[in-house]
Structure 1
Amino acid sequence: MSNNSLTPSYFQFTVFADYGPLRYLFFSLSLLIYVTIISANAVIVLSVCLETSLHQPMYVFICSLCLNSLYGSTGFFPRFLVDLLSDTHFISRLFCFIQMYVTHTYLGYELNILTAMAYDRFTAICQPLHYCSKMMPRTVLLLLILAVLYSWCSIGYFFYLAITLPLCGNKLHRGFCNCWTIINLSCEDTTVIQMACQFVALTSILIPLIFVLYTYLRILLVCRRSSSEFRGKALQTCLPHIVTFGNYCISLVCEILLSRYNVNEVNPSVIVVLSLEFLIIPSIINPLVYGLNLPQIRGVMIGFLRPLE
């Protein structure tokens, strides 16, 4: 096989069907979703950045979560909108790897930020007297930096394999560039690589998951011995995080199952919907949960919107 066949210069998405006039309806709905994600998350980010009373660890993490939603959706939707209107669905090797990097790091950042938020809630509820000393600005910054570095380390291995492995095809049965799908195009036996990838993926997910479950177990034990008023305040601050973390875990499970399943046997529309789920649902749920549930953010948002009336 020639060298060119081992390093395709482009990839082709095969899940986009000829929807005819319906393509404009799907394009409009997708554009509306994208604009909603950008607007909702931008409002939360501006509220936290411009209001000094929200310059606290919990709100800084919320702001980081919304910034990550802006990052992930922007790395996916522009290309997806083009594909909905296009008759051909080719993407260059460079842009495919850029999209793959953005979507995968988005997933990693999301999980790591949610883990850092669990530590913040654990410290605030279980160790309130030490909260100010433990959650200083430099500690928050360090946690955010570690969230980025941990994602780079865990995802870097997959990214390296996708770039260096010789490929015997260029057809991707997904709505976006996915590392696992590209690795499956390899001409070589990838059994060992797949086992290594599964190990790295499981450890990257299980370690944060176990830590979050541990923190909430400790929080439950503290709330059990506390007054009903204390339990109400704890629930008010923890409920948004529980909702977002649970929603993220469901999205992540859907993405992992889709990556491991034989996509040739799945309806293309189902693949597109499941592919969109982990990018759309968390990005919409996060600002709604935090913007509507937390009175501090809700009050600032209302204050910003009043001059526009």
Structure 2
Amino acid sequence: MMDNISQIRMFFLSGLNETHNHIFTLFFLTLLCYCVILLVNISIIVIIIMDKNLHEPMYILLCTFSMNALYGTTGFYPKLLWDLLSPVHVISYSGCLVQAQIIASFACVDLSILSVMAYDRYVAICRPLEYHSVMSKQRLILLVCYSWLTPFFIVAANMFLTSRLKLCSPYITRFFCVNWTIVKLACIPAETAINSIGTYITILIYFFHGMFIVLSYICLIKTCANSIENRVKFMQTCVPHLVSLFILLLTILFDVMIMRFGSKDFPQAFKNFVAIEILVIPPLMNPLIYGFKLTKIRNRVLVVMTLKTK
């Protein structure tokens, strides 16, 4: 079997071939976007770590959310910025696998953290008297580890299956690597059947994550309907989670639809925009949504800004 492993050591990325006329504008906008993502996410992380009043499960989960945004975008933006200034857009075979692992696990970790956040809000609002015993420090650590390690190893298993394929082309039609773009290059399509099974199992696992989130919020809405205090809690702490979930699922859905049904019918620029959405909108919008909506974080940001202006 080892003899069948691909001898390709370098991939050529063709997704940026039509951008030569706007290369410096794209470089500036990409660099600006990455800097803002770093600024807002690092700010959220530092504020939560430094303020002991924010050492609560909800805010610690938000901190891991921002850490995941840094993890995912670091696997993408530095390489893109380098390619925008390079005449040839290439990536090594191992580098492509690593980038695909980071981007896929980033999306799965986001969904896992959102499911843990939904559980946290369910316990806080539907079972408030049990909250501190249920969401103990030990359980919180286990949930955080689950939300990071489980997606990482699930995606790693899929990437291992991909690494065993013999590839017949070094040309990738995107400007970054994801698992399916590598699988499409397999010399013998029949050999990719096990990859498809692994992909469907992963989709099924995270479909159940989504169902868990939906059921949690159905219970929350029922509980909050009869209480003004709970409705206020729901609007302050649950609405940001729902907005984050909606943004994540919408960006994934657009990308999947383009991959499956319209990859040849749309211009490359549009496909690039759809492909990059998951690495722009959630990492950029989530910290802003939570920063403006969660009172404690908003107040802390205002205090810091006031001190700096004095």
Deviation at residue 198 of structure 1 after TM alignment: 4.0
Q: How many angstroms apart in 1 are the aligned matches of 2:196 and 2:22? A: 41
Is 1:26 aligned to residue 29 of structure 2? no
Q: How many angstroms apart in 2 are the aligned matches of 1:14 and 1:35? A: 25
Deviation at residue 191 of structure 1 after TM alignment: 5.6
Q: How many angstroms apart in 2 are the aligned matches of 1:269 and 1:38? A: 25
Helix, strand or coil at the partner of 2:133: helix
Deviation at residue 169 of structure 1 after TM alignment: 0.6
Per the alignment, residue 11 of structure 2 pairs with: 11
Is 1:218 aligned to residue 233 of structure 2? no
Identical-residue share of aligned pairs (%): 30
Helix, strand or coil at the partner of 2:76: helix
Per the alignment, residue 53 of structure 1 pairs with: 53
Deviations 1:6-26 (Å, cap 9, x if unpaired)? 321100111112434521011
Deviation at residue 231 of structure 1 after TM alignment: 1.2
The 5 Å alignment of 1:102-141 reads 102-141=102-141
Distance 1:115 1:170, change over 3 A: same
User: AA paired with 2:244?
Assistant: T
Is 1:197 aligned to residue 198 of structure 2? yes
Contact 1:115 1:211 in 2 (8 A): yes
- Deviation larger for 124-133 or 10-19: 10-19
Contact 1:173 1:264 in 2 (8 A): no
Distance 1:275 1:63, change over 3 A: same
Deviations 1:74-115 (Å, cap 9, x if unpaired)? 110010111122221111112212211111111111110011
Per the alignment, residue 186 of structure 2 pairs with: 186
Helix, strand or coil at the partner of 1:263: coil
Helix, strand or coil at the partner of 2:120: helix
Distance 1:32 1:253, change over 3 A: same
Give unmatched runs, 5+ long, in structure 1: none
Distance 1:258 1:150, change over 3 A: farther
Per the alignment, residue 64 of structure 2 pairs with: 64
Q: How many angstroms apart in 1 are the aligned matches of 2:60 and 2:274? A: 30
Per the alignment, residue 90 of structure 1 pairs with: 90
TM-score after normalising by structure 2: 0.94
Give unmatched runs, 5+ long, in structure 2: none
Is 1:290 aligned to residue 295 of structure 2? no
Is 1:208 aligned to residue 179 of structure 2? no
Deviation at residue 152 of structure 1 after TM alignment: 2.5
Helix, strand or coil at the partner of 1:6: coil
Deviation at residue 164 of structure 1 after TM alignment: 1.1
CA RMSD of the aligned region, Å?
1.8
Helix, strand or coil at the partner of 2:19: coil
Contact 2:105 2:155 in 1 (8 A): yes
TM-score after normalising by structure 1: 0.94
Is 1:251 aligned to residue 251 of structure 2? yes
Q: How many angstroms apart in 1 are the aligned matches of 2:263 and 2:292? A: 38
